[in-house]
Amino acid sequence: MSNKYPILLLPIFLIILTSGCVLPSITPFNSDTPSGTGVIVEEFSPDFQNVNSGETVTFKLKVKNTGSVTAENGFAELLGLDQIWRRAAGATPNPTGENFPDENYCRYTTHQIRLLPEDTNAGITGGETICSWRYIAPEVLPGLSINAKPRVRFYYTYRSTTIKTVTLVSRDELKTLQDQGKSLPSEAYSKTNSPVSIDMEATTPIRTYGTSIEFPMVITVKNVGGGTVCLDESVNCKKEGGLMTNPDLYKLRLNIILPIGLRVAENSCKLTEDIVLVGGDPQTISCKIVADSSQYIGIAQKNIELNAQYGYFIDKTTDIYVGPSTLPGAQKG
């Protein structure tokens, strides 16, 4: 994060160092993303768990796409060190003073990370990448230590798609099938492995008669990836002013795509809905779908698609302990 308050933070830092043996840091937070729900953090750690004041430390992040959709526009940032730790020689600051990752493609100014999806049937694992940051450990007085808990945040753009087949059959056709002891053709249901789960329920077969028939459809949207969703793209997750003032945070735009002959009833849901997802609480939408009976003679099977593209980010915290420098005279003055 940017060093906006250097004059205030340095005295507070010194007071804490002289009043106790260990300096606490930010509260640990981990997204704990289940495998198969998009990008997961495979590793986030410093090169050494215990370091000395003035020592150069490299933090490494390794991420992997375990979902069934390509992760686009990925980038990463490290939080919790920039106020006290110094950038190592050659490390690049961003315009706000925050330490950039060493890899250009990992930076939010380029957001170039692209991770291919996993294909278990073909034995193909999902795409992986590594981002790294270099810092110099802060000074610590003799007899004291710092327990720092830096947090890494990885952002990416993902997509969730669910397709369900609905069967429409006329009353006469259904009666003929029953009399002949035949069954209706099977229906398909598919959904992507994504951090946002979209489920659809529609009781079928739908018996058509008259000029049109109305049937219910229930949509449930849930954040299952352990992270945070934001509107449209990954870059919308990180905006000037931070999370508290970001209008795109916790939002997702759901699209309902209906085939010819189906439409949404008046005073029902919309074909495009903005949904708020906070934590793992699901959101449910009830729709009424109207089928034009004249479009369906005999038996017809049609696909209803639900999809959403969104930005997403996950967090991971690590531990590092900093002790006094072992170099002669390092603590003098």
3-class secondary structure per residue, 45-70: EECCCEEECCCEEEEEEEEEECCCCC
Sequence-distant (6+) residues with CB within 8 A of 244 are none
At 208 the pLDDT is: 83
At 11 the pLDDT is: 38
At 242 the pLDDT is: 65
At 287 the pLDDT is: 96
Same fold across 6-156+315-323 and 158-313: yes
Residue type for position 92: T
Residue type for position 293: S
Sequence-distant (6+) residues with CB within 8 A of 161 are 69, 191, 192, 194, 198, 305, 306, 307
Tokens read off for 126: 């999902």
Strand arrangement, sheet containing 86-87: 39-46, 56-65, 128-136, 86-87
For residue 246, count CB atoms less than 10 angstroms from its CB and return exposed for 0-12, middle for 13-18, buried for 19 or more. middle
117 membership: H or E segment, kind and range: none
At 184 the pLDDT is: 84
pLDDT 10s digit of each residue in the chain, 333 long? 444 333 333 333 333 333 233 333 344 579 989 999 999 999 999 999 999 999 999 999 999 999 999 999 999 999 999 889 999 988 887 777 789 999 999 999 999 999 999 888 888 899 999 999 999 999 999 889 999 999 999 999 999 999 999 999 888 888 888 888 888 888 899 999 999 999 999 988 888 877 888 999 999 999 999 999 999 999 999 986 666 789 999 999 999 999 998 999 999 999 999 999 998 899 999 999 999 877 777 888 999 999 999 999 999 999 999 999 865 554 443
At 331 the pLDDT is: 44
The CATH architecture annotation of domain 6-156+315-323 reads Sandwich (2.60)
At 271 the pLDDT is: 96
Q: Does domain 158-313 have CATH number 1.20.1740?
A: no
pTM: 0.86
At 27 the pLDDT is: 47
**In sequence order, what are the beta bridge partners of 201?**
218
Residue type for position 151: R
| Alpha carbon distance 1, 24 (integer Å) | 17
Domain residues of the chain, as ranges? 6-156+315-323, 158-313
Tell me the CB-side half-sphere exposure of residue 79, using CA atoms within 13 A: 16
